[in-house]
Amino acid sequence: MYLDIDVTLAVIVKNEAPLLKELLSHHKSLYDQAIVVDTGSSDSSIAVARELGAVVHEFPWKDDFSAARNFGLEKAQGQWILQLDCDERIAPEEFSIFKSLAAQPADHVLAFPTHNYVSNPVGGDWFPTSPSDHKWCNGAKGYFRTHPVRLFPNDPQLQFSGIIHENLEDSISLMGLVKQEAPVTIHHTGLLCGEGRIRREKLYAPLLLKKFEQSPYDLRAVTELARFLVGKKQWETAEKLLNHGLNQSNESFDEANANLLMVEIENHLGKKHQALNRLEKTIKQRPDQLLCWSQAVKLSLEIGDFQKAGLYLENGRRLFPQSPVLKELESELKLEPNR
């Protein structure tokens, strides 16, 4: 590690030359070093990366995203590591904020709110795109918000885990690092329709199954596979799988996420009262989850309990005053004849 290198940008890539070129060029002023791990490109990705000054390391693909990312971390020389994918951008108007964060001592980790744009948003926790999103969202109507850690110290103890949907959470917990929310937004377009998304889905399916087979009692792995099955409309199979996972789990953050998915499944299968009972328990675990409140309002309306729907809506609006879904539900509730 060299003290004159403040930030290393770490990227893994395969056959994404145009997006990689945009990524490296767009964020050039944010990093002092770029490490690109190529996992088997047959296009010009390697040449593009080298032309733009990145250090390229080839790494045979092993059906393991964490292995590729951790290989890149070993090569990084910056005090901070910034992890981005080729389909992600930070807006230039937030560059100065990023630089001020990277000027701090590298003794904590920073989570960046990420706008995951989707063409036709559905569900209870999406947000409509705003004027500040329009340059980056490729015409998407809305986005789902996540908060992954993207800027973190260059420390060999910090390692990604999980062959898919990899993250640093286990390492962060073991090291006792403080996690802070950074006021820097990542704009992510990879969930929009196109060849990239189709290619990603084909890659993800076997990896999700492999992850489950390796860790059949890991609730995170179970939930990820169940969510994939829901996307394929295999509702009953997803329900059986998720019940298995929940019966083996201790109360945790992952249990709340699994229960929210189970609520969606039970609701689809017509088990609305069962789904609402599950939601009431989940709200006590994770009142910070918007989806808990919006789903509780919807289910209460569907079973005709308008008083309960009103209470859930009131509490949800207090926590999430800007949620378009809750605003729509408020209008719907006012139209009910028994109100």
pLDDT tens-digit series, residues 111-157: 999 999 988 766 556 788 889 999 999 999 889 888 999 999 999 99
Average pLDDT score over the chain: 90
For the chain, first and last CA: distance in Å?
A: 65
What's the confidence (pLDDT) of residue 12? 98
Inform me whether the pLDDT recorded for 337 exceeds 60.
no
Q: Which pLDDT belongs to residue 110?
A: 98
| C-beta separation of 172 from 151 below 8 A | no
Query: Contact at 8 Å (CB) between 101 and 79?
Result: no
H-helix or E-strand containing 140? Answer: none
**Which residue has better confidence, 205 or 239?**
239
The predicted pLDDT at position 121 comes to: 66
Averaged pLDDT, 24-33:
98
In this predicted structure, the answer to whether residue 316 has a pLDDT above a threshold of 60 is yes
Q: How confident is the model at residue 312 (pLDDT cuts 50, 70, 90)?
A: very high
**Structural domains of the chain sorted by starting position, each given as residue range(s) with its CATH number in brackets:** 7-188 (3.90.550.10), 195-334 (1.25.40.10)
Q: Which amino acid is at 264?
A: E
| Lowest-pLDDT range of 48-57, 96-105, 242-251 | 242-251
The structure's pTM equals: 0.80
- pLDDT at residue 17 in the model: 97
3-state helix, strand, coil split of the chain in percent (to 5) is 50, 15, 35
Q: With contact defined as beta carbons under 8 Å apart, do 192 and 117 qualify?
A: yes
Question: What per-residue confidence (pLDDT) applies to 4?
Answer: 74
Of 139, 170, 121, nearest to 328 by C-alpha is 121
Q: What is the rounded CA–CA span in Å between residue 181 and residue 149?
A: 9
Q: Is the pLDDT at 96 greater than 90, yes or no? A: yes
Question: Once rounded to an integer, what is the mean pLDDT over residues 273-301?
Answer: 90
What is the distance, to the nearest Å, from the Cα of residue 166 to the centroid of all Cα atoms in its chain? 10
Model confidence pLDDT, tens digit, residues 235-273: 999 999 999 899 886 656 678 889 999 999 999 999 999
Identity of the highest mean pLDDT range in 73-77, 163-167, 229-233: 73-77
pLDDT of residue 3: 52
On the question of pLDDT at 188 being above 80, the answer is: yes
d(CA 282, CA 290): 12
264 sits in which H/E element: helix 253-268
DSSP strand pairing (88-90 vs 186-188): antiparallel
Model pLDDT, residue 194: 56
Least confident of 12-16, 111-115, 129-133, 184-188: 129-133
At which residue do the structure tokens 């990023």 appear?
A: 98
Model pLDDT, residue 118: 87
Q: Per-residue confidence at 201, pLDDT binned at 50, 70, 90?
A: low
Whether 282 shows a pLDDT value over 80: the answer reads yes
* Three-class DSSP category at 272: helix
